[in-house]
Chains A and B, each alone.
Chain A
Amino acid sequence: MLSNLNSAVLTEKLVSAALPIAGLLMFLLVWNMSAQRIETSLGQFPGPAEVWEQGGNLVDEHRVQREKAAAFYERQAKRNAEKLAKNPGYVPKQRRFTGKPTFFDQIGTSLVTVMLGFLLAALIAVPIGIMIGLSQSLYSAMNPLIQLLKPVSPLAWLPLVTMVVSAVYVSDDPTVPKSFLNSMITVMLCCIWPTIINTAVGVSGVSQDHVNVSRVLRLGPLTHVYKVVLPSALPMIFTGLRLSLGIAWMVLIAAEMLAQNPGLGKFVWDEFQNGSSNSLGRIMVAVIVIGLIGFLLDRGMLLLQRYLSWDKSATLR
């Protein structure tokens, strides 16, 4: 009986582990078969094997660039040392290696941009959400604006952001490139709304009983927010943050593509313009990496929520 039960449980576990793998295999099969039937102007649509190969190429290219960079810095250091030996008053010049950014450099740029844009959005959205959640009149005042701005596409914001950044951010030696600011601000503008709305909903949903307790204890406004409102609204805030991060990542790729800002979006666009027989394969690699990173970002938020949430048993999805 017991062994029966155990084997049943075991089978169930095996099945639940096997199903995703089966789904993935099915997908690869369908992909492979349909890829063979699609002729594009750049040759046959890449199947899994070609994409795998291109992935390897991208890694190799990255390695080569890194070696070049290392060699460059070595030469520079040597040259500076020689000049310094001849002439003690010489001030060594440090030039940066200006090779073409590799696929992995672009991933790095995109990640930094999305994180900063999202962080900025969260820092603005959560306090605003709390305020309009607490005050009905503030909510009534802000709601039409939010509803109006929420559906605006990043492509509409981008020209405005670009012009404003060029006008406002004038500096001879910009420590932060303008293109980076453009992407980041566009991301921020597009992903701020779900967090504002969900935070406001979570905050206004604090149970009346808890508000009454807080009133009887005469908690100050800050203590009230910190001890009562935030813990109770936390799940909704995180729902908003996860939606925002998802939007941020999607918007970023589009913005980079359109504005030629460095990042994964630009990589895709460059490959598209490049139009070699390898391009489609390389774009497919980018597509898969973009999906994977989006997934990992969401998981990361989930872990953060689990870490911050008081209710560890709450089902998190």
Chain B
Amino acid sequence: MTWSQMQPLLHDACLDTLFMVWWSTVYTVLGGLPLGILLYLTERGGLLPNVVVNKAVGAVVNIARSVPFIILIVWLIPFTRLVINTSIGPSAAVVALTIGAIPFFARLVETSLREVDHGLIEAVQAMGGGTWTVIFKVLLPQALASLVAGLTTTVIALIGYSAMAGAVGGGGLGQVAINYGYQRQEHGLMNITIVLLVVIVTVVQLAGDLSVRRLARRTGRQPAPVGVRRLWSANRTPGPRKTEVTEVAPETT
């Protein structure tokens, strides 16, 4: 394959990947953030303790998280068809990506909120603030750096997932790598898609770390380390857990 043949292919694939990652990120935040807040609020000893809701939501989240993504996509095909009338292409992939990432992000949100000092919540309650005030004036602003770190992790996981979605007809770089690189043995093309994915992940990670550092510096916390080694360890494990988040935004107080 010549470069002039590859170029439009890669161009479209890149746009598809970015399309999938962007929109699934948007919907993941819209769905995962409230869900994470709900998990945090309803836990025992929380602001709105509710064992039934907490256990039910927690169970759904855990189940969704333990299904391997590649299986989740296939399993969701009927649902995807119902929602957007098709089960192939980037738009269809967004549905599966979003549903796969919401539980993941919701747990990260819950963890981030738990790191917020309870004394701050108490202070706001003592001045007459209600639950909404606590959420919007304390929890979210105080957890912002940690939330951004969690989002970065989620986006990187979504990039990985989007490549998997490509394998089952979602389009994007993943599909190019499978269709041309693997099935037609176009090693050059395969390598280029890998480089492109690495570049995208690197850019996301650097941008995320930078924002976290900005936010952390403002609030007087220890700046998170930005370095090549950290970047690679994040790339190799696209599903980091709690420890990853605390590593990115350590509390000094």
Do A and B pair up? The answer is no
